[in-house]
């Protein structure tokens, strides 16, 4: 920890000496806390960070949409447009890589459950499934099942290490949650948790915000903080020791995520890609999602706020949207590409402006909760590395099968616990129907052959299938074909064993 004199001198050099203005009023313990926090700041870049934040917040949008072009067709794979044999070949390639311990998974889990209205990390959230499983448990069980599928196919005992990037807010509760749940029967040594950096929030005139008299307003540096965190925590070194060559990166809040999807992994590997992204077709032209495209020949994500309505609504000769590749934060990287990013490009990543309401103390030391945005939080995004890719590919998947994020409390209309729960249960119902099952309601009436997820409060059938029974719909025919089932129906390992004996 730096001395008071050192901190004072460095703050003055960064034009941020106001952070010590309450020093005479602080107790000895508070002074120690403040010095400890300030000592962790990146003083060499603090002045530029503050000036850059103020300038970025005041600047006009980039106008990138004037130079947008769709990703070239030869660089796009699709579960909708590719034949079954091709997809089976991709899956086989993916399972080979998994079975030979060349694949790892990296979870972006630095965000808090603020918008959900809970004081704990999103991964610990229970959306109300019949099993009461949390997002973390669902993902852990999918990982276990994936390893099992690769082992059965290739006679191996493989390991897919699970790297989990947390923040200052989520590291301790996440570690405790996994420990309390016995790491969901995964090997503890194969779950590697690490923390991303925190950076100061800044006022519109370029001053770091004091959240309290002895505390700076800090926030995670966005999921693009991953690249610095890989270096800080020697994650790439760990990957190299384990022989991991390919990494699947995803966000914690997607209840439908396919962990290290072998079809996606196999597609990227067969294309020789160093960087890849799953996409879903935009629900409508102005849907607020980033679009994966090419700008002046360079692949990147253009944020929806930067796209003019006429560009968003543009159509090609076949009548389809030109820019329909919605980004869902689901990516493939080679270890070699990540190493190159951390060594040569980390300081070139774009900074994104987030205007926020940031609690602060005023000149008199009174705590204030602002009613309108008063601060700037600068973020980097995980997709900011796309422009540095030498071989970028995109992979189109079906939204209702692979993307249902959990972001808001149920008072909202989208991306809520209810919509996430319905998405998963409806998917599992489709799997069971495809496997040859018939469902009856509590009155003995046959339920419809396809679920609807438009109703907010109910589904025709409550059907949940444990990931330990089926990774993503495979192997259910032998259990469910010709069976008449009543709802709610929970197919766990015990029930699967019972059904096999019938």
Q: Say if strands 367-368 and 275-281 run parallel, antiparallel, or are unpaired.
A: unpaired
Cβ proximity of 91 and 84 under 8 Å: no
- Give CA–CA dist 493/175, Å, rounded: 27
Render pLDDT for 98-115 as a digit per residue (tens, 0 to 9): 999 999 999 999 887 888
Which pLDDT does position 242 carry in this prediction? 98
How is residue 208 annotated by DSSP?
B
pLDDT of residue 455: 46
Residues 272-303 have pLDDT tens digits of 999 999 999 998 998 989 999 999 989 999 98
- pLDDT of 460 reads 67
Q: Report whether pLDDT(256) > 70.
A: yes
Answer left, alpha or beta for residue 191, where phi above 0 means left and psi between -120 and 50 means alpha: beta
First to last CA, the chain: 67
**Does residue 200 surpass a pLDDT of 90?**
yes
- Tell me, what's the pLDDT at 354? 87
DSSP β-bridge partners for residue 195: 166
Q: What are 402-412's pLDDT values in tens digits?
A: 999 999 999 99
pLDDT for residue 223 is more than 90 = yes
* Rounded-to-integer distance, Cα 428 and Cα 451, Å: 10
Looking at residue 389, what is its pLDDT? Answer: 97
CA distances from 408 to 54, 83, 203, 355, 419 (A): 29, 37, 27, 19, 10
Calculate mean pLDDT across residues 333-342: 98
Q: How far apart are CA 65 and CA 322, in angstroms?
A: 12
Distances in Å between the Cα of 40 and the Cα atoms of 118, 197, 239, 320 are: 28, 10, 27, 50
- CA 56 to each of CA 108, 319, 378: distance values in angstroms, whole numbers, following the listed order: 25, 37, 9
- Find, among 107, 178, 113, the residue nearest to 417 by Cα: 113
- Looking at every residue in the chain, the average pLDDT score rounds to 93
- Mean pLDDT score, 222-234: 95
Per CATH, is 64-69+104-402 categorized as 3.90.550.10? yes
Residue 502: is its pLDDT beyond 80?
Answer: no
Domain spans, the chain: 4-58, 64-69+104-402, 423-501
Q: What is the pLDDT, as a whole number, of residue 110?
A: 87
Is a pLDDT exceeding 90 seen at residue 431?
A: yes
Helix (H), strand (E) at residue 368: strand 367-368
pLDDT(457) > 60: no
Tell me what the mean pLDDT of segment 54-75 comes to: 84
Mean pLDDT, rounded, for 362-373: 93
Of 143, 141, 155, 139, residue with least CA distance to 100:
155
**47-63 pLDDT, tens per residue?**
988 998 898 888 876 66
pLDDT the model gives residue 32: 94
- How long, in residues, is the chain? 502
Q: CA 420 → CA 129, 196, 331, distances in Å?
A: 10, 27, 21
Residue bearing the bigger pLDDT, 9 or 443: 9
Q: What is the pLDDT of residue 453?
A: 53
pLDDT of 458: 62
pLDDT above 50 (res 337):
yes
Answer yes or no: is pLDDT of 85 > 80: yes
Q: Give the Cα separation of 162 and 178 in Å (integer).
A: 12
Segment 145-180, tens digit of pLDDT: 999 999 999 999 999 999 999 998 899 999 999 999
Reference 278, options 445, 78, 432; nearest CA is 78
Give dist(CA 448, CA 384) in Å, integer: 44
Domain 423-501: CATH class, spelled out: mainly beta
pLDDT of residue 351: 82
């Amino acid at each position: 920890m730096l001395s008071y004199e050192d901190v004072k001198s460095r703050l003055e050099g960064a034009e941020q000496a106001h952070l010590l203005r309450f020093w005479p009023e602080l107790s000895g313990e508070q002074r120690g806390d403040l010095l400890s926090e300030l000592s962790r700041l990146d003083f060499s870049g603090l002045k530029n960070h503050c000036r850059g934040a103020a300038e970025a917040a005041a600047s006009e949008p980039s106008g990138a949409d004037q130079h947008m072009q769709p990703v070239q067709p030869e660089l796009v794979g699709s579960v909708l447009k590719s034949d079954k044999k091709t997809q089976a070949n991709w899956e086989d390639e993916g399972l080979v890589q998994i079975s030979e311990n060349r694949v790892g998974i990296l979870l972006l889990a630095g965000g808090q459950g603020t918008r959900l209205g809970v004081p704990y990390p999103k991964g610990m959230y229970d959306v109300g499934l019949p099993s009461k499983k949390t997002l973390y448990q669902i993902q852990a069980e999918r990982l276990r099942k994936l390893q099992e599928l690769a082992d059965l196919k290739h006679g191996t005992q493989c390991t897919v290490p699970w790297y989990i990037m947390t923040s200052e807010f989520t590291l301790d509760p996440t570690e405790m949650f996994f420990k309390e749940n016995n790491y969901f029967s995964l090997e503890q040594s194969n779950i590697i948790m690490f923390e991303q950096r925190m950076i100061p929030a800044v006022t519109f005139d370029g001053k770091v915000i004091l959240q309290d008299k002895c505390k700076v307003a800090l926030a995670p540096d966005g999921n693009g903080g991953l690249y610095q965190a890989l270096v800080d925590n020697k994650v790439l070194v760990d990957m190299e020791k384990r022989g991991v060559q390919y990494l699947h990166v995803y966000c914690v809040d997607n209840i439908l995520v396919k962990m290290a999807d072998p079809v996606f992994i196999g597609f990227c590997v067969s294309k020789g890609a160093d960087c890849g992204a799953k996409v879903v077709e935009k629900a409508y032209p102005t849907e607020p999602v980033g679009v994966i495209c090419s700008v002046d020949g360079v692949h990147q994500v253009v944020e929806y706020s930067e796209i003019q309505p006429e560009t968003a609504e543009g159509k090609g000769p076949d009548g389809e949207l030109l820019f329909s590749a919605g980004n869902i934060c689901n990516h493939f990287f080679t270890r070699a590409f990540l190493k190159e990013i951390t060594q040569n490009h980390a300081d070139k990543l774009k900074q994104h402006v987030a205007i926020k309401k940031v609690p602060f103390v005023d000149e008199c030391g009174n705590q204030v909760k602002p009613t309108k945005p008063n601060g700037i939080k600068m973020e980097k995004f995980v997709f900011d590395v796309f422009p540095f890719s030498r071989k970028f590919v995109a992979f189109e998947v079906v939204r209702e099968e692979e993307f249902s994020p959990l972001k808001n409390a149920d008072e909202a209309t989208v991306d809520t616990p209810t919509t996430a729960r319905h998405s998963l249960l409806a998917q599992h119902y489709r799997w069971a129907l495809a496997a040859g099952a018939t469902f009856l309601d509590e009155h003995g009436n046959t339920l419809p052959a396809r679920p609807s997820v438009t109703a907010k409060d109910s589904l025709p059938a409550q059907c949940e299938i444990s990931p330990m029974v089926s990774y993503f719909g495979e192997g259910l025919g032998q259990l469910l074909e010709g069976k008449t089932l009543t709802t709610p129906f929970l197919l766990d390992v015990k029930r699967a064993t019972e059904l096999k004996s019938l």
